[in-house]
A and B are shown apart, each in its own frame.
Chain A
């Protein structure tokens, strides 16, 4: 038999087979798709968190049931059972009572209907009666009759209703009495079990159940799953995707599930509670999560719910390794806004907290900002919104009166050779300028700078001390007067605000130092060094001491000499910048040796930017040389030139390395001398580099909407101005103020002999007095060896400080003088008696007797009080001086609120304190009393 003819052109069986195979493969693909879509990283974390939460709730439950008083519960349950039994026994009576209630109720409802009906009639009659009467219509009489008739009917209906309502209430009470006991007992039991029940309910809510599993099952989990992506949509914040701005959406809480819940402080990540709940997340904190989200501060990709794609950034290489192992983390090279590593997270604060010197609680950022000013970073680098407030280095306009040529040459070789703690960075002979040729070039530049400075320096008249100096006395004065608030000397490591004074004997002359000490502004009009109003003897003694401190190794070193041919080479290179080689050569030939030196000096100063930190003649209007850093924390990573340096390609790593070795990115590059990196080598510790890195990372032009920024009101702005001045003048070198400890106060064990605390000064001192004191300080505390310096403040600066103090103390400013509280002559007389009995004058009197007792005996002259102190403050001071000025020698005379003088003003402490105060405001001087002064006036 011939084979059956195949009606088709293909093999059916084969087709079936292939169909079966492809169907199977497609099915597998579908299953795989569903599985991959279903199996998300974040779901795993949510399940783990549920397990953690169940475990925690179970613990809470065990604790809650442990707290229940077992015996009490047993008794109550027994009583409850009995009550139920008793209730059941009276079953019939209860049913009868229920019937009575029902009857009474229906009657009352009926009566209420009648009453309301009549009331409506009455209202209607009254309306028509009034209307017709006004229109003089005859029908008024008709309605008058109707109204007359309905009034008594209504009264009757009302009284009936009230009777029935009373009956109903009575019946209710009878019924309730049957079940009252049972209900009360049940309530007590519920109360006892309250905590446990609550935790049980919580446990019920978090426990996984079959229903939840079904809701979360693949394919049906679109309906109402319990595992869900959590997201916070932020109305006022946007993400910048270069060409589009997108509303910020943070999904971090999808995995960081315990972040805003107390009780997960020790839980493993990602479930841990935020460590600073008082500052972030919670509704009562200044940064509630609904308003700020997470990535506004932490940065990173808020949309993502995977560990890697969220752009988590490790703190260190170890952490990176750990993450790779634990979370399969990899670095997102293409993602711009990576999370800030935790150690630099404070950088984000600056986005909103601009125009302030310090951000509360952001210590690292604040330290970075402080260093940026004190190290001169912002003198050289433009940062919009952060102009420098003073030049960091000393004026060099008169430098030839202070330093000789060789000293300057040796200093420029390496400033740390003379003073290891100096802020002056090393500029020459660094890693990219260390070939023999470059060292010669460096020496030529140094020589020429010294020559330029000498030529462009105007001499200052110096005076010679007229007395003989005592070095030992000088050393004592340096300690006693408070020089250490800013300076360290010898072995005493104290202030770092001003330069360390060791080795000064190998730097300056006696005439210069004496003149400087007598009046620093005479030599340098912009110096921040104040005048300490030193006598000739004091200034001579201090100079004798400081000049005895030598730096022999530095002094004995010879200054390297520059080679003329190298000077010529550099001059020629510079000239070539603006002319052809042949012309440059002609120009060079025209110059004398001195001209060449001066030319190169000017070129070198402008090339290295010396003038950004020092005032130098000829550079008054020169622009800073550093790169602008306004957006450095946000600059595209590809714009950083890592050169051949093998480090992690991140902004933080670049900045850190740059601060550590500013010339490193020239490594392996061939560059002309004047094209090499110029940033000098600063003398920074690892912590300082870290803080500065945070600071640089904080620099961004990112626009945060105004309503999200921390905006300062007028008073806050004034306070900020004051803060800036306080940091410029280094008030904290001596005084504790505004959350900072005073350095000299800290160094003093006996706080009674330390510079005073200035917290609360605004509440203490009258504005007028404070203003004049700051302008021209005079001794107040005769026993203090420390001397408040004269800062030569302008009127504006003084006013700024007065406002600053007032604002810090929440005081209103008044220059009119203080309004004295009302008093009476009797009260003042009692005050006088108290002052005598308490023997205040034993200390508060400056006379020969008290002087004989020794310095600790001299308290402020009370004559100062009325112009200096605010009356409310005097009251507080007299009550407990230690609270206002810790460690003060002024004792309290009213220990535990009790007066030691019971027979004046009825022994009332408060009235006595007021009386003393009132007397002080009328007090004239010495033995004069208020009364005698009045007679004197007559």
Chain B
């Protein structure tokens, strides 16, 4: 009899744990990317050679490698769960990540995408762009897009942080894609903040990546409460 009781208790606890782990025990991780130091001097890039680009940027193009927000935070930092999700599987969303070439610049400059998730590449400019993605793990591609409004679809098969994307017609144009096999990533915005949503309970290493200032990591433990993870990049 006692054995049976124990057995029931065990079953109940297993059910409870799995239920909690499955839904309730998940939280958001938010944070801010502070910037410590002096932003590099802005040297405008001349776009004279391509009249279409010059028309959009008559005084030249602002370099987008380092963008320091007004609240002294850093934009375009890619934050993602680096370790802690091993063995778990997450289906790729059917919805495409949109990637635009607009005003001879990439939009977004830094973005995350899941493996095998479609990437919809658009050319909103009335000039030739080429989209040359240089992943090492997945198949690279280099697409010429001579027509305004044309769209092409591609995807990355293997995770890789980061994949550089560049345009050889306009050497200043570059973008970075963080390719992951899970959906737990975010990019810091105009206020330097980011939110990774719905991370299941567990211990994780999260990493923040910046094009110029490199990477930083933090260990976090997620239970049922939202967590904060702030980073500071020094110039």
- Name A's B-contacting residues (CB within 8 A): 750, 752, 837-839, 842-843, 849-850, 852-854, 856-857, 881-882, 886-893, 895, 900-901
> Taking A882-B140, A882-B141 as contacts, is the C-beta distance between A900 and B150 under 8 angstroms?
yes
Minimal beta-carbon separation of A13 from chain B (angstroms): 87
CB-contact partner of B128 in A752, A842, A856, under 8 A: A842
**Known contacts A856-B168, A887-B134, A887-B140, then 9 further A-B pairs from the complex at CB < 8 Å, ordered by chain A residue:** A750-B134, A838-B128, A839-B127, A852-B48, A853-B170, A890-B142, A891-B145, A893-B144, A900-B146
Interface contact B143-A892, CB-CB below 8 Å: yes
Minimal beta-carbon separation of A850 from chain B (angstroms): 7
| Chain B residues with CB under 8 A of A856 | 168, 171
B140, B168, B170: which has the most chain A beta carbons within 10 Å?
A: B168
Interface contact A891-B142, CB-CB below 8 Å: yes
| Chain A residues with CB under 8 A of B44 | none
Minimal beta-carbon separation of A612 from chain B (angstroms): 46
A894, B164: Cα distance in complex, Å:
22
Q: Mark B134-152, 1 if CB is under 8 A from A, else 0.
A: 1000001111111100101
CB-contact partner of A889 in B49, B146, B168, B170, under 8 A: B168
| Chain A residues with CB under 8 A of B150 | 900
User: Does B190 have its Cβ within 8 Å of any Cβ on chain A?
Assistant: no
A258, B170: Cα distance in complex, Å:
62
Closest B residue, CB atoms, query A851: B49
CB-contact partner of B144 in A849, A854, A887, A892, under 8 A: A892
User: Does B16 have its Cβ within 8 Å of any Cβ on chain A?
Assistant: no
Closest A residue, CB atoms, query B169: A842
Minimal beta-carbon separation of A781 from chain B (angstroms): 12
Interface contact A854-B142, CB-CB below 8 Å: no
A65, B165: Cα distance in complex, Å:
54
Interface contact B168-A857, CB-CB below 8 Å: yes
30 cross-chain CB contacts under 8 A: A837-B147, A838-B128, A842-B50, A842-B127, A843-B168, A849-B49, A852-B46, A852-B49, A853-B170, A853-B171, A856-B168, A856-B171, A857-B49, A857-B169, A881-B142, A882-B140, A882-B142, A887-B140, A889-B130, A889-B142, A890-B142, A891-B143, A892-B142, A892-B143, A893-B144, A893-B146, A895-B152, A900-B147, A900-B150, A901-B147
Closest B residue, CB atoms, query A847: B49
Q: Mark B52-66, 1 if CB is under 8 A from A, else 0.
A: 000000000000000
Interface contact A857-B171, CB-CB below 8 Å: yes
Minimal beta-carbon separation of B118 from chain A (angstroms): 13
| Chain A residues with CB under 8 A of B49 | 849-850, 852-853, 857
A886, A891, A900: which has the most chain B beta carbons within 10 Å?
A: A891
A895, B147: Cα distance in complex, Å:
13
User: Does B196 have its Cβ within 8 Å of any Cβ on chain A?
Assistant: no
| Chain A residues with CB under 8 A of B48 | 852
Minimal beta-carbon separation of B96 from chain A (angstroms): 15
| Chain A residues with CB under 8 A of B110 | none
Interface contact A839-B141, CB-CB below 8 Å: no
Interface contact B132-A891, CB-CB below 8 Å: yes
| Chain B residues with CB under 8 A of A882 | 140-142
| Chain B residues with CB under 8 A of A849 | 49
A882, B127: Cα distance in complex, Å:
22
Interface contact B171-A891, CB-CB below 8 Å: no
A853, B144: Cα distance in complex, Å:
18
User: Does B179 have its Cβ within 8 Å of any Cβ on chain A?
Assistant: no
Minimal beta-carbon separation of B126 from chain A (angstroms): 10
Interface contact B144-A838, CB-CB below 8 Å: yes
A355, B171: Cα distance in complex, Å:
50
User: Does B34 have its Cβ within 8 Å of any Cβ on chain A?
Assistant: no
- Name B's A-contacting residues (CB within 8 A): 46, 48-50, 127-128, 130-132, 134, 140-147, 150, 152, 168-171
A895, B143: Cα distance in complex, Å:
7
A882, B134: Cα distance in complex, Å:
12
Closest B residue, CB atoms, query A843: B169
| Chain B residues with CB under 8 A of A837 | 146-147
| Chain B residues with CB under 8 A of A888 | 142
| Chain B residues with CB under 8 A of A750 | 134
> Taking A853-B171, A857-B169, A900-B150 as contacts, is the C-beta distance between A891 and B144 under 8 angstroms?
yes
Minimal beta-carbon separation of B55 from chain A (angstroms): 15
Minimal beta-carbon separation of A50 from chain B (angstroms): 44
> Taking A839-B127, A843-B168 as contacts, is the C-beta distance between A853 and B50 under 8 angstroms?
yes
A876, B168: Cα distance in complex, Å:
21
A882, B168: Cα distance in complex, Å:
14
Minimal beta-carbon separation of B56 from chain A (angstroms): 16
CB-contact partner of A891 in B50, B127, B130, under 8 A: B130
A452, B181: Cα distance in complex, Å:
71
Minimal beta-carbon separation of A854 from chain B (angstroms): 5
| Chain B residues with CB under 8 A of A893 | 144, 146
Interface contact B130-A854, CB-CB below 8 Å: no
Interface contact A752-B132, CB-CB below 8 Å: yes
A889, B143: Cα distance in complex, Å:
10
Minimal beta-carbon separation of B166 from chain A (angstroms): 9
| Chain A residues with CB under 8 A of B128 | 838-839, 842
The 4 closest A-B pairs by CB, nearest first: A891-B144, A839-B128, A891-B130, A853-B49
A852, B46: Cα distance in complex, Å:
9
A853, B170: Cα distance in complex, Å:
7
Minimal beta-carbon separation of A138 from chain B (angstroms): 95
Closest B residue, CB atoms, query A859: B168
A580, B85: Cα distance in complex, Å:
90
| Chain B residues with CB under 8 A of A886 | 140
Minimal beta-carbon separation of A927 from chain B (angstroms): 16
CB-contact partner of A838 in B46, B132, B146, under 8 A: B146
A750, B46: Cα distance in complex, Å:
24
Closest B residue, CB atoms, query A842: B128
A697, B181: Cα distance in complex, Å:
52
Interface contact A854-B143, CB-CB below 8 Å: no
CB-contact partner of A752 in B46, B152, B168, under 8 A: B168
A854, B173: Cα distance in complex, Å:
12
| Chain B residues with CB under 8 A of A842 | 50, 127-128, 169
Minimal beta-carbon separation of A833 from chain B (angstroms): 12
| Chain A residues with CB under 8 A of B143 | 891-892, 895
Interface contact B171-A854, CB-CB below 8 Å: yes
A887, B141: Cα distance in complex, Å:
8
| Chain B residues with CB under 8 A of A854 | 171
Closest B residue, CB atoms, query A902: B147
A887, B130: Cα distance in complex, Å:
13
Minimal beta-carbon separation of B46 from chain A (angstroms): 8
| Chain A residues with CB under 8 A of B134 | 750, 887
Closest B residue, CB atoms, query A783: B168
A268, B170: Cα distance in complex, Å:
62
| Chain B residues with CB under 8 A of A850 | 49
A892, B170: Cα distance in complex, Å:
17
Minimal beta-carbon separation of A190 from chain B (angstroms): 43
Closest A residue, CB atoms, query B152: A895
Interface contact B131-A891, CB-CB below 8 Å: yes
Interface contact B145-A889, CB-CB below 8 Å: no
Minimal beta-carbon separation of A162 from chain B (angstroms): 69
| Chain A residues with CB under 8 A of B145 | 891, 900
A423, B118: Cα distance in complex, Å:
54
Closest A residue, CB atoms, query B144: A891
Closest A residue, CB atoms, query B145: A900
A287, B202: Cα distance in complex, Å:
57
Interface contact A889-B132, CB-CB below 8 Å: yes
Minimal beta-carbon separation of B50 from chain A (angstroms): 7
A842, B129: Cα distance in complex, Å:
10
A189, B147: Cα distance in complex, Å:
63
A854, B152: Cα distance in complex, Å:
27
Minimal beta-carbon separation of B210 from chain A (angstroms): 19
Closest A residue, CB atoms, query B46: A852
A752, A843, A895: which has the most chain B beta carbons within 10 Å?
A: A895
| Chain A residues with CB under 8 A of B50 | 842, 853
| Chain B residues with CB under 8 A of A887 | 134, 140
Closest A residue, CB atoms, query B142: A891
Closest A residue, CB atoms, query B127: A839
| Chain B residues with CB under 8 A of A889 | 130, 132, 142, 168
